[in-house]
Structure 1
Amino acid sequence: MTAPTVTGLELAAVAALVGFGLQPRMRPLDNPRYRELLQRCRCERPFRSAVEACAEGLEMDLIEVHPVEGLILHPRHGSIFTYRLTDHEKLSSKERLTLGLVHVAIAARAYPYPEDLEEDGAKRIAVDDVDAFLRHLIGKLQEATRDSEGLALPHTGLDAAWRIYAKLTPGRPTAGGSRVVRASSQYWIAYALRWLVEQGMATPAPAHGPGHYLLAHRFRLQVREAASAPAFALLGDLRRTQLVEED
């Protein structure tokens, strides 16, 4: 993609807008400069082309210019902005595998059907719901293992992850009463959801009960970009099957 010729001031404005987009909790409604630049990106084709070229140079795709969510960027594989489980330096390898499984499960439970990824609006999800879904998943995988059906797994990491998850207790309150211990599955679901909050992709929803969150439009778009991943496809298949069984 060839960027249009722009002045130094224009380049500074483009970089400033991309910088806002790299702060996922920043919202244009809270920042007049962000709002102004976002409006230019929505209305001025040359300016938008320059923003897309800047994102291209950072190995990112501009997936939406949203009036409320702001500039939504999706890092490509290999970009320095790509989320990696190894970014959680204080976690053990088993904990990272668990966290990875939980992230995929949150997405698959919230958006089991392709059309779900096209519907605007927030999705509500709860820690208990994700844990129940993963317990259902593990039951199906254990059945397949016992019956030697050879259920295809997309990669060995997922196979290892569900076996680790199966050994976790659902959740035990700490001595303080409300939090669950690190050795429980619900601890890691809450950990993942809090991380999504930090990334501007979810908000706590205590009005709906403890452990409830709303998944933002930004999260749905990120999931849509990664929907072809084998792990998401497998968990999505199992979630759709579960919904049919529940009916």
Structure 2
Amino acid sequence: MTLSQRDLADVGVLIGCALRPKTRPGADSDYRTLLGRYRADVEFRNAVDSILDGLDAQVLSDSDLGLVLGVRRESVFAYHVSDLPNVGGVRERLLVGLVSVAIAAYAFPTPADFDDDRVRWVSVDEIERFVRDMCDQLKRTPEKTSREDESFEEAWRTYDRLSPGYKADKGKRKARRSSASSPYWVAHVLTWMVDQGLARPAPARGPEVFQLLERFRIQAGELAGNATYDLLAAIRRGDYPAEGAGA
């Protein structure tokens, strides 16, 4: 059967829903219907996958929470760190990139964790301590870190120079987090993740606690094999430095 113009329009509607991270099939009947068709209708599924391929994207998951897409670096839909608000310079991009990978490594330190759908929570304080401890470990193994990617080394050294607590913005009377403090950047990334449907606030579990959603777990799985993720995950597991390294 050849797909009609109406069918192709439905393909576009489904892709559009998948590109809106806060849209859920449970709350959108059209999305729910088209997701069901994507699962059951091979021709329709192939059309969706082919169009996504032409856009340098692919379906990573088609769970009841909707289509989760992954995109290649060259895709028009590719996420760039500079897309975040208040992230314009190299320093800011390095910090956001480091914190983003740190959240993934903290919550999913082994490849098997990416297939485990149990609920995970993280807090600003937990991620801040994790990254801070990572910096301390890397400072103790300079001969090993010198072999790492230069941008990664610049990122963690930039983070290490930040204030670990509150620091008043210049000219402000009341102390509050500013971009000169590391918790500011952790909170900044987690708040952005909420906007992208990757996390949700969990105030009942404590101040600045966030629940990581399935969409983040699936997308974070694409980091497997990334050198920075592998190093941070090893630190999270307690496997860094490797036996005999740094001594």
Residues in 2 aligned to 1:100 and 1:232: alpha-carbon distance in whole angstroms: 11
Deviation at 1:242, TM superposition (A): 6.6
- Greater shift in the superposed pair: 153-162 or 170-179: 170-179
Ranges in structure 2 where 5+ consecutive residues have no aligned partner: 241-247
Hey, what's the Cα distance between the residues in 2 that align with 1:30 and 1:176?
A: 45
CA contact (8 A) 1:153 1:159 kept: no
Please report the TM-score for the alignment, with normalisation by the length of structure 2.
Answer: 0.89
> Hey, what's the Cα distance between the residues in 2 that align with 1:229 and 1:82?
17
Q: Deviations over 1:129-169 (max 9, x none)?
A: 10111111101111112xxx333654211100111111111
Give the number of aligned pairs: 236
Fraction of identical pairs, as percent:
38
**Is residue 2:91 matched to residue 1:74?**
no
- The one of 53, 78, 84 equivalent to 2:80 is 84
Root-mean-square deviation (CA, aligned residues, Å) is 2.0
Deviations, residues 2-55 of structure 1 (Å, cap 9, x unaligned):
xx8411111000110001000011111111111111111122222111111121
| Partner AA of 1:162 in structure 2 | W
The one-character-per-residue Cα deviations of 1:222-245 (angstroms, maximum 9, x if unpaired) are 0112222111111111111179xx
Contact 2:58-2:69 within 8 A present in 1 as well: yes
Q: Give the TM-score of the pair, scaled to structure 1.
A: 0.89
Matched, 1:62 2:59: yes
Counterparts of 2:207 and 2:148 in 1: how far apart (Å)? 33
1:169 to 163, 167, 171: 163
SS, match of residue 191 in structure 1: helix
* Matched residue, 2:244: none
Q: Distance in 2 between matches of 1:119 and 1:228?
A: 18
Deviates more, 1:16-25 or 1:233-242: 233-242
Say which of 145, 151, 154 aligns to 1:157: 151
Alpha-carbon distance in structure 2 between the residues aligned to 1:98 and 1:30: 35
Aligned to 1:34: 31
Matches within 5 A, 1:1-247: 5-67=2-64, 69-88=65-84, 90-91=86-87, 92-145=89-142, 149-151=143-145, 153-172=147-166, 179-241=176-238
Question: Would the alpha carbon gap of residues 12 and 154 (structure 1) be closer, same or farther in structure 2, given more than 3 Å must change?
Answer: farther
CA shift, 1:89, in A, is 6.6
